[in-house]
Amino acid sequence: MRKRILSVILAGILIVGLTGCGNQKTTDSKTNDKTKNETVQKSKGNCDVFECIKKLSSDTTYEKVNEIIGFEGKLVDQSKEGAVSTYKKYEWELTDDTSITVRLDEFKGKVTAQISSEFPNEMIKNDKVDFSKVDKLKEKINSSDGLTYEEFVEIVGGVEGTLYNVTTFSNKYTWVNSEGKSLNATFNSNGKCTIFNGVV
């Protein structure tokens, strides 16, 4: 009788032990799956939003953008039928909160692209960005020599800007400091700043 009771107790302990191991394995599996899903989302395209826009130019084509990013863009807008100048606007969603948008304008057989990127400012916050010398930026932009991109970078703390818009005539960059305040600047094809604005 005692042997039977002892056997039942041991069997119960063994079952509990196996059940515990099974639960642990399931939890680990779920954790691994979650990590894999996050990794897949981050690498949806051939490049992230910041690298993709650097590889695109105003003379790019829809097919070329698809090749660079790695998948086909979604048509989100287009001109009305019969318009003199026509356009098509495509979007490539790289993650839940980052994307590349390209508007292709056609006039008299010539196609030009306007490229922009979307991303949360939180992604580019930098505690080295310094907006304390904004007056110097104003002084330089109004001078006869103008304000170059390199000078702009030096004045705001030596931090490179994040490219977020590309057209035939200009490139636009943005800087975000640790407090979330931002400064946007437009540079023409000669590399001179034509305008800057933001909340500093």
The confidence score (pLDDT) of residue 11 equals: 43
Give which of 127, 180, 179 is closest to 156, Cα–Cα.
127
Residues 36 and 74 placed together within one structural domain of the fold: no
User: Can you tell me the distance from the alpha carbon of 87 to that of 172, in angstroms, rounded to the nearest whole number?
Assistant: 22
Residues 32 and 72 placed together within one structural domain of the fold: no
On the question of pLDDT at 34 being above 70, the answer is no
Give which of 171, 40, 162, 172 is closest to 94, Cα–Cα.
40
On the question of pLDDT at 192 being above 90, the answer is yes
User: Can you tell me the distance from the alpha carbon of 180 to that of 13, in angstroms, rounded to the nearest whole number?
Assistant: 56
Residues 13 and 72 placed together within one structural domain of the fold: no
Residues 127 and 195 placed together within one structural domain of the fold: yes
pLDDT tens for each residue of 133-179? 999 999 999 999 999 999 999 999 999 999 999 999 999 999 999 99
Of 86, 118, 150, which residue is a domain's last? 118
- The residues facing 77 across adjacent strands are 89
Residue linked to tokens 């119960």: 12
On the question of pLDDT at 184 being above 70, the answer is yes
SS3 3: helix
If one counts the domains in the chain, the total is 3
Identify the domain containing residue 106 by its residue range: 49-118
The confidence score (pLDDT) of residue 2 equals: 42
The confidence score (pLDDT) of residue 83 equals: 86
User: Can you tell me the distance from the alpha carbon of 122 to that of 129, in angstroms, rounded to the nearest whole number?
Assistant: 13
If you average pLDDT over residues 94-99, what whole number do you get?
96
Residues 137 and 105 placed together within one structural domain of the fold: no
Residue 63 — pLDDT band, cuts 50, 70, 90?
very high
Give which of 116, 112, 117 is closest to 58, Cα–Cα.
112
Residues 30 and 60 placed together within one structural domain of the fold: no
On whether the CB atoms of residues 62 and 102 are closer than 8 A, the answer is yes
User: Can you tell me the distance from the alpha carbon of 145 to that of 122, in angstroms, rounded to the nearest whole number?
Assistant: 34
Residues 125 and 113 placed together within one structural domain of the fold: no
The confidence score (pLDDT) of residue 151 equals: 98
pLDDT tens for each residue of 103-135? 999 988 899 999 999 999 999 999 999 999 999
Residues 139 and 101 placed together within one structural domain of the fold: no
Residues 192 and 136 placed together within one structural domain of the fold: yes
